[in-house]
Amino acid sequence: MTRMTTEQAIHQALAEEMQRDERVLLMGEGVATKRPDLVQDFGATRVRNTPLAEAIVAGTAVGAAASGLRPVVDLLFAPFLAYAMDALVNSAGKLRYLSGGQFEFPLVAMSMTGSGWCVGAQHNHNLEAMFAHAPGLKVVMPSTAADFKGLLKAAIRDDNPVVFFTDLGLLHQEGEVPDVADHVVPLGLAAVRRVGADVTLVSYAKTVGVCLQAAEQLQAQGIAAEVIDLRTLKPLDETTVLRSLRKTGRLVVVTEASGLCGMAAELAALAATRAFDVLRAPVVRLTGPDAPGASSWVLEQAALPTVEAVVEAVQGMLVEVAVGREALAAS
């Protein structure tokens, strides 16, 4: 294992994949400036600064992907994806299908989002659900350095368009990354970060940490929370979530993104449609508010689901259990 930050893990993934496959190229506003070692190792042809024009950067990736290259584009902050929407949603996501399968679009569109930098809603907008809702795309949003590396490598190797989100609050967070020659984490598999039988906490990105802390506190109260890190939002690993629900019968979904039609809605819907018979309590959604991100530190913080809120939600769900236990203890 090697300890490294998310940023370093991403960089390693890019370097390794460019080394492995010469069809991989990196494009974006400042990618060459920010990664001079890649320019040196792979040449200015494969590491390209672009004009400030997300629509053509993304569109060029789509055209290149369908023509034999495997582009990775860095689109910087998630709200800028608004300019890349046609390329990603209407072209990359639809033209394989509309053409009857004539084209493949092996491309990765990277962007950052999330609270932590006080930059406000035009830089901080957790809009991953918009891409999950769009057909033909895959969506990834890891939470650990190892996954950033392994999932980015898998995304680059995937023959489908992948939108890869980096929670900017995790950029400088360190984690252990396996030292194996080729650390690849397959898309579409959630990770059970902590095993528990009383309640299932489902999350992804920065809020996985919130769930883990909450689980720690709950443990002290004798409540065993299972924590699932989705990692890939699309395709969604329903199996892992449902397996956990069959065990716990309780679901709390925790996301920084807002709730309405968000991933939290999808998870709650999954429970309501496919795990109803095992559910023992109302599902709880703890999400960011349905409001743009504010810049002010206190407002940015106030928008986040907290450890306390998770703990409280779980306690609320388990009231009957606790009451039951007390009764047992008293008897």
Ligand X SMILES: Cc1ncc(C[n+]2csc(CCOP(=O)(O)OP(=O)(O)O)c2C)c(N)n1
Judged by CB under 6 A, the chain residues 29 through 88 that form the site for ligand X are 29, 52, 54, 76, 80, 83
Nearest to 226 by CA among 209, 236, 212, 239: 212
Which 228-267 residues touch a copy of itself, going by CB under 8 A?
Answer: 234, 236, 258-267
Segment near other proteins (CB under 8 A), from 172-180, 191-199, 220-228, 292-300? 292-300
SS3 readout for 94-146: CHHHHCCCCCCCCCEEEEEECCCCCCCCCCCCCCHHHHHHCCCCEEECCCCHH
The Cα 177–Cα 194 span in angstroms is 18
User: Applying CB under 8 A, does 187 fall inside the site for other proteins?
Assistant: yes
Of residues 123, 125, 133, 183, which has the active-site annotation? 123
Under DSSP, the state recorded for 38 is: H
Binding test (CB under 8 A) with other proteins, winner from 214, 241, 294, 317:
294
Which among ligand X, a copy of itself, other proteins, none contacts residue 49 (Cβ within 5 to 8 A by kind)?
other proteins
Judged by beta carbon distances under 5 to 8 A according to partner kind, the member of a copy of itself, other proteins, ligand X, none in contact with residue 279 is a copy of itself
Contacts of 22 (CB under 8 A, 6+ apart): 46
Binding to other proteins, residues 124-143 (CB under 8 A): 135-136, 138
CA distances 199 to 238, 243, 250, 264, Å, are 16, 12, 5, 16
Q: Could you say which of a copy of itself, ligand X, other proteins, none residue 224 binds, taking C-beta under 5 to 8 angstroms by partner kind?
A: none
Distance CA 261, CA 82 (A): 18
Token pair for 138: 């895959």
Is 123 marked active-site? yes
Residues that contact ligand X, how many (by CB under 6 A): 6
* DSSP for 43-93, written as a single string: -TTTEEE--S-HHHHHHHHHHHHTTT-EEEEEEEEGGGGGGGHIIIIIIIT
**Which positions from 77 through 136 interact with a copy of itself, judged by CB under 8 A?**
79, 82-83, 85-86, 89-90, 93-94, 97-98, 120-122, 125, 127, 129-130, 132-136
Supply the minimum distance, in Å, between the C-beta of residue 59 and ligand X.
13
Q: How far is the CA of 274 from the CAs of 87, 137, 238, 270, in angstroms?
A: 34, 24, 9, 6
Q: Which of residues 285-314 bind a copy of itself (CB under 8 A)?
A: 285, 290-292, 294-295
Contacted by 236, from a copy of itself, other proteins, ligand X, none: CB < 5 to 8 Å by type: a copy of itself
Of 220-279, which residues contact other proteins (CB under 8 A)? none
Looking only at the bridges linking them, the beta strands covering 47-49 and 284-288 are unpaired
Q: How far is CA 73 from CA 12, 48, 279, 283, in A?
A: 16, 10, 42, 37
Q: Which residues bind ligand X (CB under 6 A)?
A: 29, 52, 54, 76, 80, 83
Footprint of a copy of itself (CB under 8 A): 79, 82-83, 85-86, 89-90, 93-94, 97-98, 120-122, 125, 127, 129-130, 132-136, 234, 236, 258-269, 271-274, 276-277, 279, 281-285, 290-292, 294-295
Q: Which residues are catalytic?
A: 123
